[in-house]
Structure 1
Amino acid sequence: MSYVNPKGEFDRDTDYITTRITRDGRDGYPVEPGRYRLVVARACPWANRAIIVRRLLGLEDAFSIGFCGPTHDERSWTFDLDPGGVDPVLKIPRLQDAYFRRDPDYPKGITVPAFVDVPTGAVVTNDFAQMTLDMSTEWTEFHRDGAPQLYPEEHRDEIDEVAKRIYTEVNNGVYRCGFAGSQGAYDKAYDRLFTALDWLSERLSDRRYLGGDTITEADVRLFTTLARFDPVYHGHFKCNRSKLAEMPVLWAYARDLFQTPGFGDTTDFEQIKHHYYEVHTDINPTGVVPKGPDLSNWLTSHGREALGGRPFGDGTPPGPTREGERVPEGHGAG
């Protein structure tokens, strides 16, 4: 849950369930193929990260994935995309059922992504930032052949530093604009957001990716916000100094990633728009979902190959998206 403080500023609740799934099982949940289910919603940028990392690392056989629908009510995300509105593995209609299985008095927001322990039906963790790092570091035994190094040990300090700024100023910055409860709070949030986007444009002007020549965790974290920028944040959240398509470096960078297996093929623009415009009734009380923008430009040439680099380093691209996990026809670009 999040709220607007007395100054009209958006505050995100960051008190997550921090239990971890680790190789040594020190929190009671050891890495074990087939034991856990990753519950996501394609609409959510935090969950989209987990979908991307799972696919890039080839962890499809290590843990299953369940997709909630794009909208939710005040109680919970729901499995309305599944037959009968029930998750086929967990046998529950609402994600909150798994949270309450862990803690019957769970007082916080029911968020995605979440790892659920299938044998008990209880949520293990919803600590989205740690979850993707653990996919890179704790699940290595189950990575596909050719999996990229998204969190290489020698670059972790730099990745962490960049990722922290992306989170506070960009990932969360757009929400700070959208949910500002006063003009002063909005103006301050707007300036912070575009200061950070200008910094990122400068950083990416002479390097293909945030960490240099290969894709890392930092790129995944930035991409999911950039993908939502023009369809949602520019208008709905009033982040309207300029569209992503009007920021040349970031626009080329975002298209480069979008056209890389694992990124664009996990992005569902229809669900993204329906989520934001229908759920945020305080911002958009009519619930009307805009028809635009035209998304075919995501597939246009980006020219970033001129900077060199190898997207997957010494690794290889992931194969085709699994049956049952593909973005529905007509929900992507083009």
Structure 2
Amino acid sequence: MPDAKKWANSEDGSFKRQVSSFRETISASHPVFKPGKGRYWLYVSLACPWAHRTLITRVLKGLTSVIGVSVVHWHMDEKGWRFLPAGDGSKDKCFEPSAGIACTPESQSTAGVTSESTRAGVDGTPDHNYGFARLSDLYYKAKPDYQARFTVPILWDLETETIVNNESSEIIRILNSGVFDEFADPQTNPLDLVPLKLESQIEEINSWVYDHINNGVYKSGFAESQEVYEREVTGVFEHLDRLEHILSVNYKAAVTKYGEKDAASRLYLINEQLTEADLRLYPTIVRFDPVYVQHFKCNLSTIRAGYKMIDLWLRNMYWNHSAFRSTTSFDHIKLHYTRSHPRINPLAITPLGPKPDILPL
């Protein structure tokens, strides 16, 4: 996530997102990218909501011993994402590449933490495969004449040493497709996040959630005119209202069916079951109160104060599903946004609140 000036490049000052460059898939019939245990690797940021959705899917599908992971430092400078120096933290259990991400306890204060901090297993990991210093090195290895931005996530093929895909929505579909099921953890009951009977509903929700909420907070925060900002932030909250209505209807139905005590654990966007629609919404909502309210000026309301059902849904996702909780690092989220966008926050001061980062269930 680079500085806003590199993103908001339209004449009216509105934010335009770059189209991903690598769009291959993995399948048994693919001439190059075939399924295999230990062949593929994820490069992610714990701060980035787009990368976050791939980490959650990796855990939900039981693929933590199948697909390794490396985590970039939370700070993005003018050269983009970077890794910790080679040899630092490669064996740290918090970021064991063949296991799940186990985010460390959140700091009570970030005073003294600088953009140059290299706390092994806390600020990130090295590049476990090549010892590269920068994410850009992977892009140049895959395509020496690459000229676009260096984004996360990356799904990397260790066999051909190239990028398979760097579009998060397609990566989570690859991981969900079943191509790795034969290698998955037998203790995990792999969940189909896009069941055929619900696919049209999932796609419909994904479309407006992406445009007006996932990307809407960025269009608000990186707006370069008052007119554009007001239009975009209004759209964000109009669609949060829409979400609140959907979840209110679902909650009432769950109360009737299961009773109030068990209704919260059944609260999802579609049919009382966890689907891709929930997974794609979560990374934005969990970041909303900690960073988007103040950093992106999405401050017409907080989630916890203004959206009772969305907040209950969020707490259900976080506290009742370890795949969501274990991949959420509020430290990385807060530090990245507040210290990587000098045009928005020139003094790089990281707010302490809200406390707690997420309310108890």
TM-score, scaled relative to structure 2: 0.79
- Residue 20 of structure 2 contacts residue 166 of structure 2 at CA under 8 Å; is this kept in 1? no
- The reply to whether residue 154 of structure 1 matches residue 197 of structure 2 is yes
- Give the gaps of 5 or more residues in structure 2: 1-5, 89-124, 251-266
SS class of match (2:249): coil
2:9 corresponds to 1:30? no
Runs of 4 or more off by more than 4 Å in structure 1? none
Give the corresponding residue for 1:245.
304
Secondary structure of 1:234's match? helix
Paired with 2:325 and 2:70, the residues of 1 have a C-alpha distance of 19
CA contact (8 A) 1:69 1:81 kept: no
- Name the counterpart of 1:273: 334
Q: Distance in 2 between matches of 1:82 and 1:191?
A: 45
Distance 1:42 1:104, change over 3 A: same
The one-letter amino acid of 1:135's match is: L
Identity of aligned residues (%): 33
Match of 1:255 in 2: 315
Pair 1:55–1:156, CA change in 2 (3 A): same
Equivalent runs, 1:152-231 vs 2, <5 Å: 152-207=195-250, 208-231=267-290
1:225, distance to aligned residue in structure 2 (A): 0.3
1:71 paired residue number: 75
| 1:34-76: CA deviation from partner (whole Å, max 9, x where unpaired) | 1111111111101111111100111012211111111122223
CA contact (8 A) 1:53 1:132 kept: yes
Aligned pair in 2 of structure 1 residues 2, 139: CA closer, same or farther (>3 Å)?
Answer: farther
Q: In 2, distance between residues paired with 1:296 and 1:182?
A: 30
1: CA distance, partners of 2:26 / 2:154: 12
Aligned partner of 1:18 in structure 2 is 23
Going from structure 1 to structure 2, the CA distance change for 1:156 and 1:277 (only over 3 Å counts) comes to same
CA distance in 2, matches of 1:171, 1:70: 20
Partner residue, 2:100: none
How many residue pairs get aligned? The number is 299
Once superposed, what is the RMSD of the aligned Cα atoms?
Answer: 1.6
Q: Among residues 279, 283, 287, which one is paired with 2:348 in the alignment? A: 287
Residue 205 of structure 1 aligns to a residue whose secondary structure is helix
Matched to 1:47, the amino acid is: A
Post-superposition CA distance 1:107-151 (Å, at most 9, x none): 111111101122343222101110001111133333344121211
Give the aligned residue type for 1:99.
Y
* 2:191 counterpart of 1:131: no
**Cα displacement (A) at 1:239:** 0.3
Q: Which amino acid aligns with 1:53?
A: T
Q: Once structures 1 and 2 are overlaid, which stretch shifts more, 234-243 or 80-89?
A: 80-89
**Residues 75 and 110, structure 1, Cα contact 8 Å, conserved in 2:** no
Kindly provide the CA deviation profile for residues 225-250 of structure 1, in whole angstroms up to 9, marking residues without a partner as x.
Answer: 01100110000000001001111111
In structure 1, list runs of 5 or more residues that go unmatched. 302-334
Kindly indicate whether structure 1 or structure 2 has the higher relative contact order, using CA contacts under 8 Å at least 6 residues apart: 2
**CA distance in 2 between partners of 1:227 and 1:296 (Å):** 9
Instruction: Please list the CA deviations of residues 186-213 of structure 1 after superposition, one character each: whole Å capped at 9, or x if unmatched.
Output: 1110111111100011011122211221
Q: Give the aligned partner of residue 316 of structure 1.
A: none
